[in-house]
Chains A and B, each alone.
Chain A
Amino acid sequence: MPTSGSREVAVVAFAQTQHVRRLDDSNEVEMVMPVLHEVKASLGVEQRDIDFTCSGSTDYLAGAAFSFVQALDAVGAWPPIAESHVEADGAWALYEAWVKIQTGQADTALVYAYGKSSPGSLRDVLSRQLDPYHQAPLWPDSIALAALQARACLDAGVTTVDEMAGIAARSRRAAAANPFALLRSSEEPDVLLKEPELASPLRKHDCPPITDGAAAIVLAAGDRARELVERPAWIDGIDHRTDAHSIGVRDLTVSDSTRIAGEKAGVGSRPVDVAELHAPFTHQEVVLRRALGLGDGVDVNPSGGALAANPMMAAGLVRIGEAAQRVMRGEAQRAVAHATSGPCLQQNLVCVLEGGT
């Protein structure tokens, strides 16, 4: 019996785009379609074999109203399919699909997510998600808010600028082995620290690249998963929590929502081999490792993480896909994936994946 839910559910396939800084030659449908084809073809299934389809995206990124409806053109949604959408990272679409399978109304689910961050000014666009009375009228941008959290972490001794530069260098060097990532190399940390501050205390290396990209995952229950692949990545635990909306009432040096989600998902019940943490800013990896109680033996973000490629609304789903792939390939027995949404790690999802037949 899994830690979360009563039905066994596994990730059985994952695909992602080659993430890029600016995808000028394709609209969103053209960007998403190859990934959907690839993830289904890898299992030899077609859309009619999928019981439930769920996507994550936000129209604000590219400024195209109801773009998630147009994106269904890439799915093949006729005759009408059972379908849903979340205005959030695709990791939350995966959660909805997992719940749907738990109810017994579906045995298979296609989850996809996409984000073209390049058409707009991302720092301004993201300010529109803030409190409309106290914060949004000031247009604080996403990097400024992350910088407030970074300073709080530095002041509290949670991290150091040396550790942050080390995280940046380690992540982007790890991405050299990830052909889908955007930033795949780094200078030494001491060289990075000679760069001027971008938004004190953050330097450019502490921030994620603006990224266009998409990803897709197929979930399957029990024996259906065993039919589809030799070694499914079973979802042992999954949970998501949110902190208070206003960053002014939170302790920014900790992430209670991540800690609780991790406890509910059973992160600490057995050793963890690999963790894919959705930490767009370097200091956030430290906050997340602490919240999840991950020790030095855990391989964190071998894909390079969001510091190497951060397609908005897809980067969290990519973390689940990357973790699941390592389990499916037998490189890891137990992996933790994490996704975040909102400013300063406001909302967090934790998913524990395990190998086994």
Chain B
Amino acid sequence: MSTSEVLSAPLVLEYPFRRTVGVVQGAFLTGLRDGKVLGIRTTDGRVLCPPVEYDPATGDELTELVEVGTGGVVTTWSWEPEPRAHQPLDRPFAWALIRLDGADTTMLHAVDAGSPEAMATGMRVRVRWADERSGSITDIACFEPESADTDPTPPAPLEHPTDEPVKLIETPARLEYRFTAGQATTRFLHGITEKRILGERCGVCGKVYVPPRGSCPTDGVATSEQVELPARGIVTTFCVVNLQFYGQAMEVPYVCATVLLDGADIGLFGLVQEIPFDQVRMGMRVEAVWVDDEELGPTMTNIKWWKPTGEPDAPYESFREHV
């Protein structure tokens, strides 16, 4: 199978995490919201900024928060010619490690310098506060080169002033992928587009897998033979769903089942319809109900659900290995 024939599809993963920040990070983030920067003093008198809960050098628990300056020195920098989504600035900028006045360690942030020629190790920079601050590292919009001509702009007053300390932060992340189905799944998806169900047989143990992933998990070898399976089989096990899931349009109660196709060694997951939910049985014979032909595509949703064939139930002995 050539590369161009293998199916792929966009895949977006989003991680809508909410994090509990704890005492030290809570104080730091509350400080940013209120327009000041806090560090933390170690037992040997150094000040770490951003603060951490434990001294990385000694492991001592740290508690003494101290305010540091909003100006400082660039200790190293790099240039970002093509800013990416989510980054602090949408025009070219410098990434820098910045040692704020009164701190002994550095903070990573962006410097809005205009061009790399305006950047130098050892240069002084100062905080540019974000217009709206909520208790996040992005409350510092970026840093800017310190200038003798202009005074720093003080942090804008909060629209909704509050004394509540910051306890939670939202850290949403969105990553976009191009997911490749691989060769065996591609063969299966091409088949199902034509209402054909293609399993694959292991050359060692003879078992037929559907949907195939190209390998036999028992023997760790590539499956060697394609096997066309009928769109009928038996319900090996099922459950009655009484709960409405988010994003699920099904009317409850409904039945989810594992359907073992005739000739297959692994069950397919599907819905059972066209029979009252309380009459579905293990061993019941079913057949696929397909979507209309014009709706067919490379997807398992081509099979809307499974319906009883009316044939006699299969004896338990015939499928107990698959329960």
In the assembled complex, B300 has its CB within 8 A of some CB on chain A: no
Stretch at the interface among B108-116, B189-197, B283-291: B108-116
Check: A200 CB closer than 8 A to any chain B CB.
yes
Residues of chain B contacted by A175 (CB below 8 angstroms): none
What is the number of residues of chain A that contact chain B, defined by CB distance less than 8 Å?
63
Bound-state CA distance A282–B267 (Å) is: 51
Most chain A beta-carbon contacts within 10 A, residue among B1, B178, B180: B180
Give chain B residues whose Cβ lies under 8 Å from the Cβ of A119: 11, 177-180
Cβ contact within 8 Å between A26 and B182: yes
Q: Contacts A76-B220, A151-B78 known; A139 to B84 CB distance under 8 Å?
A: yes
Within 8 A of B (CB), among A145-164: 145, 147-152, 155
| B76 and A152 contact, CB distance less than 8 A | yes
CB contacts (< 8 Å) of A252 on chain B: these are: 76
Residue among A26, A64, A152, A248 with the most chain B CB within 10 A? A248
Residues of B within 8 A of A197 (CB): 79, 116
The answer to whether A51 has its CB under 8 Å from any CB of chain B is no
* CB atoms of A62 and B179 under 8 A apart: yes
The 10 closest A-B CB pairs, nearest first, are A76-B220, A27-B182, A147-B78, A244-B56, A200-B79, A63-B177, A248-B106, A139-B86, A78-B218, A152-B76
Residue positions of B touching A, CB distance < 8 A: 1-3, 6, 8, 11, 13, 15, 17, 19, 21, 25, 28-29, 48, 50, 52, 56-57, 75-81, 84-88, 95-97, 105-110, 116, 121, 136-138, 169, 171, 173, 175-185, 213-222
A-B contact pairs, 22 of them (CB 8 A): A24-B3, A25-B1, A25-B3, A33-B220, A60-B175, A73-B216, A78-B217, A124-B85, A125-B175, A132-B171, A133-B137, A134-B107, A134-B108, A138-B88, A138-B108, A139-B86, A147-B79, A148-B96, A199-B79, A246-B105, A248-B105, A249-B52
B56, B76, B177 — most chain A CB neighbours (10 Å): B76
How far, in angstroms, from A33 to B29 measured CA to CA in the complex?
A: 48
Contacting residues of chain A (26-41) with chain B, CB-CB under 8 angstroms: 26-27, 29-30, 33, 36-37
Q: In the docked arrangement, what's the CA distance between A128 and B15, Å?
A: 10
Complex partner residue of B220 from A27, A74, A145, A247, CB under 8 angstroms: A74
Bitwise, A192-233 to B at CB < 8 A (1) or not (0) is: 000001111110000000000000000000000000000000
Complex CA gap A121/B174 in Å reads 11
Q: Chain A interface (Cβ within 8 Å of chain B)?
A: 23-27, 29-30, 33, 36-37, 47, 60, 62-64, 70, 72-78, 118-121, 123-125, 128, 132-141, 144-145, 147-152, 155, 197-202, 244-249, 252
A282 → chain B closest CB, angstroms: 14
Closest to A77 in B: B217
Q: Which residues of A contact B96 (CB under 8 A)?
A: 148
Assess whether B213 is in contact with A63, with CB atoms less than 8 Å apart.
no
How many angstroms between the C-alpha atoms of A118 and B176 in the bound complex? 11
Give the shortest distance, in Å, between A76 (CB) and chain B (any CB): 2
